[in-house]
A and B are shown apart, each in its own frame.
Chain A
Amino acid sequence: MSGDDARHRIAQRAAQELRPGEVVNLGIGIPNLIPGFLGAETKVVLHTENGLLGVGPRPGEGELDPDMIDAAKQPITALPGAAYFDSASSFAMIRGGHVDVAVLGALEVSARGDIANWAVPGKDVLGVGGAMDLVVGARRVIVTMTATSSGRPKVVGDCTYPLTAAGAVDVIITELSVFRLLDGELHLTELLNGATIDDVNAVTTAPFAISLEERHAP
């Protein structure tokens, strides 16, 4: 599987975690591919922390509006029924538990659901944005990431990179599998794209229980 192919498959699987009517905030990277896999019937409402509820598709040529960006600073449109608000209101929605789901990437996730996704020691500790607010505040936190980075496992026993938050993650989706944090323990609940348990074991240093669920592709 090519890197791009893996990223699209992760986004496709993550899209299936979202339920009709949920308010969802999508992070930069793989999460930004998710709208391409949301059918119109999904009725997910997208929130962007720079101040819009009801994010629509990317604008076409001639529809560009300099006052319309998402938190990744990419151009967006707004759907009918959208609302704009200031940054304090936006993060009050997030911390106050009014945003149902945050989907975001990570550098590492630990066996206890700790997440590190904002800083690489000695390299970049100068940009946190809304990552800490989102993982603490959203009711459900879904991490989308490739299973390894340059061969280094990303689902680990303990995070070695600086933490974004402790015990915040609910679901991890990689190109190989779905993990869920259930009562603070990591469970392998689904194998993806023909992967085996051995395949997952080979790239996962976190201890995990095996609780495979029957699942029918939608």
Chain B
Amino acid sequence: MTTSAVSTAAEAVARIRSGDTVMVGGFGLVGAPLTLIDALVDESDATDLTIVSNNIGEPGRGLGKLLRQGRIRRGISSYFTSNPEAVAAVNAGEIEATLVPQGTFAEAIRAGGAGIGGFYTPVGAGTLLAEGKEERLIGGVRHVLEEPIRADVALVYAARADTLGNLWYRRTARNFNPLMATAATVTIAEAGEIVAVGELEPEAVVTPHLYVDYLVEKA
């Protein structure tokens, strides 16, 4: 899509259906789209969700709120441990956990957005996290096949957007956001500030607008 619709958070998250896979940007809470997450928590009934995010929020904060509502069926993350309630939910069998090394997690999302069917990486070879994965020797080094990760909906955060949906990120709040913006059927971007077309330097655009479907201003 080439034009992003500026909408309310509630309208945007209404695109999320029960059973969907939802990517959520952020490293911990830094760069997490908290307005969109709150709308998902307060204004949506979608449940049985698979969440793709580096962390499952913190206790009662960010995705931690959605976890408390029991609406997450599965998490795909590199670090569940930052939310002890997520660890407890996994240990109690309430949610299914897929743990992925952080670089593999990022690259699998990149691949998902770039139309790549997978990649071989030496990371994880010979460990618990490579169990059941296809393995191949490349240059004499054990590599494991990792498949791409995609989602139905991506929720990302950018410090600034123009009304077309071009995105600019600030400092370490960038993290997984530009990757996730490329890897979902529908991308919803929350922006700290929405400016007129022409106000972002074209060279400063990190996520070109063709990736973004909905724009929501941070509350």
Binding site for B on A (CB under 8 A): 48-52, 65-71, 73, 76, 78, 84-88, 90-92, 94-95, 119, 124-133, 136-137, 162-166
Inter-chain contact B172/A50, CB cutoff 8 Å = yes
User: A133–B124 Cα gap in the complex (Å)?
Assistant: 8
A119, A129, A137, A166 interface centre (most CB from chain B within 10 Å): A129
In the complex with contacts A127-B81, A163-B126, A164-B127, A86-B176 CB distance below 8 A: yes
Inter-chain contacts of B28 with A (CB < 8 A): 69, 73
Report if B208 contacts A (CB, 8 A). Answer: no
Inter-chain contacts of A51 with B (CB < 8 A): 27, 172, 174-175
User: A162–B125 Cα gap in the complex (Å)?
Assistant: 12
Binding site for A on B (CB under 8 A): 27-28, 30-31, 54, 78-82, 86-87, 90, 97, 99-107, 109-110, 121-129, 159, 169-179, 206
A-B contacts counted at CB < 8 A amount to 142
A129 to B: closest C-beta gap in Å: 5
Inter-chain contact A126/B99, CB cutoff 8 Å = yes
Which of A66, A69, A78, A133 contacts B123, CB < 8 Å? A133
User: A20–B64 Cα gap in the complex (Å)?
Assistant: 42
Inter-chain contact B174/A95, CB cutoff 8 Å = no
Which of A48, A124, A132 contacts B101, CB < 8 Å? A132
B127, B178, B206 interface centre (most CB from chain A within 10 Å): B127
Which of B54, B106, B122 contacts A90, CB < 8 Å? B106
User: A59–B12 Cα gap in the complex (Å)?
Assistant: 37
User: A163–B101 Cα gap in the complex (Å)?
Assistant: 13
Inter-chain contacts of B106 with A (CB < 8 A): 86-88, 90-91
User: A49–B172 Cα gap in the complex (Å)?
Assistant: 10
In the complex with contacts A69-B30, A86-B178, A127-B79 CB distance below 8 A: yes
Which of A48, A126, A131 contacts B80, CB < 8 Å? A126
B97, B100, B176 interface centre (most CB from chain A within 10 Å): B176
Inter-chain contact B79/A91, CB cutoff 8 Å = no
Inter-chain contact A133/B104, CB cutoff 8 Å = yes
User: Sorted from nearest, which 3 A-B pairs have the closest CB atoms?
Assistant: A91-B103, A127-B81, A133-B103
User: A130–B103 Cα gap in the complex (Å)?
Assistant: 6
In the complex with contacts A126-B90, A128-B78, A50-B175 CB distance below 8 A: yes
Inter-chain contact B30/A73, CB cutoff 8 Å = yes
21 A-B interface contacts by CB (under 8 A): A50-B27, A51-B27, A69-B172, A84-B174, A87-B54, A88-B179, A91-B107, A94-B103, A126-B81, A126-B99, A127-B82, A127-B99, A128-B78, A128-B79, A130-B78, A133-B103, A162-B128, A164-B127, A165-B125, A165-B127, A166-B126
Q: 11 additional contacts, CB 8 Å, given A52-B172, A126-B79, A126-B97?
A: A68-B171, A84-B171, A86-B106, A86-B174, A86-B175, A86-B178, A91-B106, A95-B123, A126-B87, A163-B127, A165-B126
Inter-chain contacts of A162 with B (CB < 8 A): 127-128
